[in-house]
C-alpha cells in the first residue's frame, strides 16, 4: 500500500515527479496534500517527513511502514518494486543515458527554477531571462532533441516509452507552457504528449481546484 505526501500541486514540482511514476506503474495509492507557503507549512512537513521536505512516499508491507523521501529516490524505489512497469529503458546504455538525464535535472538548472517557478495551471508573462537561464533552457531543449532523435521513435518520449527521465522533466514542460517559452518541432510534440498524459491532466485539475479555492 502506498501513500504519497505532496505539496500544493500548483507549486510543488518535486511532488509531481513521483506522482507520475506512480501513475505509470498503475497501482492504487493514496495522496495527502500539505499546503505550501503557509505559516504552518514547515511544522506540518516536519511532522510527516524525516527530511523536512515533500514529497514523501509511505510504503506499508506486512504491517511495517517504510518511508522514502526525495523524488528521484522514490522513482528508483518504485522501479525496483515494479520491474514490470519498465520505468527505465531495457538497453543498458540507453538506461545509463536516461539516468544521466534524470540526475542532471535533479541537481541542475537553478536559474530556470528561480526565474520560471512552477505555476502549473496559471499563464504568466515571460520575464526578462538572465543569460544563464537562457543557456539552461537551451541545454534542456538540446537534450530533449537528441534523446528524441535517438530513442523517441519507439514511443514518443525521451527514451521511447515513458520513463523516469520523463517524470523528472515533466515540471519543465509545465514551466514552458506557463510562461509561453517557444519551442518547435520534435520538442513541441514531446511537450504536447507529456501534457496530455492522464496523470498530468489529473494533476492539472487538482491544481486548478487549489487556485479556484484560494489554496494556491
Of 90, 88, 137, residue with least CA distance to 112:
137
- Dihedral angle of Cα 145, 150, 153, 158, to the nearest 10 degrees: -50
| Alpha-carbon separation of residue 35 from 12, 64, 186 (angstroms) | 10, 27, 36
Burial 65-76 (b: 16+ CB within 10 A, else e): eeebbbbbebbb
Q: What are phi and psi of 6, to 5 degrees?
A: -125, 165
The dihedral of CA 72, 75, 80, 84: what is its sign?
negative
Given this structure, which CATH class describes domain 2-84? alpha beta
Per-residue pLDDT, 61: 82
Q: Which regions of the chain are under pLDDT 70? A: 41, 44-45
Q: Spell out the SS3 assignment of the chain.
A: CEEEEEECCCCCHHHHHHHHHHHHHCCCEEEEEECCCCCCHHHHHHHHCCCCCCCEEEEEECCEEEEEECHHHHHHHHHHHCHHHCCCCCCHHHHHHHHHHHHHHHHCCHHHHHHCCCCCCCCCCCCCCCHHHHHHHHHHHHHHHHHHHHHHHHCCECCECCCHHHHHHHHHHHHHHHHCCCCCHHHHHHHHHHHCCHHHHHHHHHHHHHHHCCCC
Per-residue pLDDT, 62: 81
Please write the tens of the pLDDT for every residue from 32-44: 998 887 777 677 6
Per-residue pLDDT, 39: 77
In the structure grid, which three cell numbers stand for residue 166, read together? Answer: 520523463
Q: Where are the domains of the chain?
A: 2-84, 86-199
Per-residue pLDDT, 38: 74
Given this structure, which CATH class describes domain 86-199? mainly alpha
Amino acid at each position: 500500500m502506498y501513500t504519497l505526501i505532496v505539496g500544493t500541486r500548483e507549486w510543488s514540482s518535486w511532488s509531481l515527479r513521483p506522482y507520475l511514476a506512480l501513475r505509470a506503474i498503475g497501482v492504487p495509492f493514496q495522496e495527502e496534500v500539505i499546503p505550501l507557503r503557509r505559516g504552518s507549512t514547515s511544522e506540518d512537513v516536519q511532522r510527516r517527513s524525516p527530511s523536512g521536505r515533500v514529497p514523501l512516499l509511505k510504503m506499508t508491507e506486512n504491517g511495517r511502514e517504510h518511508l522514502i523521501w526525495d523524488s528521484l529516490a522514490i522513482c528508483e524505489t518504485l522501479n525496483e518494486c515494479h520491474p514490470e512497469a519498465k520505468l527505465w529503458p531495457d538497453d543498458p546504455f540507453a538506461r545509463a543515458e536516461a539516468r544521466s538525464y534524470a540526475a542532471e535535472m535533479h541537481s541542475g538548472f537553478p536559474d530556470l527554477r528561480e526565474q520560471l517557478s512552477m505555476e502549473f495551471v496559471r499563464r504568466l508573462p515571460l520575464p526578462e531571462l538572465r543569460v544563464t537561464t537562457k543557456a539552461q533552457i537551451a541545454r534542456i531543449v538540446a537534450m530533449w532533441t537528441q534523446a528524441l532523435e535517438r530513442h523517441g521513435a519507439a514511443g514518443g518520449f525521451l527514451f521511447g516509452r515513458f520513463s523516469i527521465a520523463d517524470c523528472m522533466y515533466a515540471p519543465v514542460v509545465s514551466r514552458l507552457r506557463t510562461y509561453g517559452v517557444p519551442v518547435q518541432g520534435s520538442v513541441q510534440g514531446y511537450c504536447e504528449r507529456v501534457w496530455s498524459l492522464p496523470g498530468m491532466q489529473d494533476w492539472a485539475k487538482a491544481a486548478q481546484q487549489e487556485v479556484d479555492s484560494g489554496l494556491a
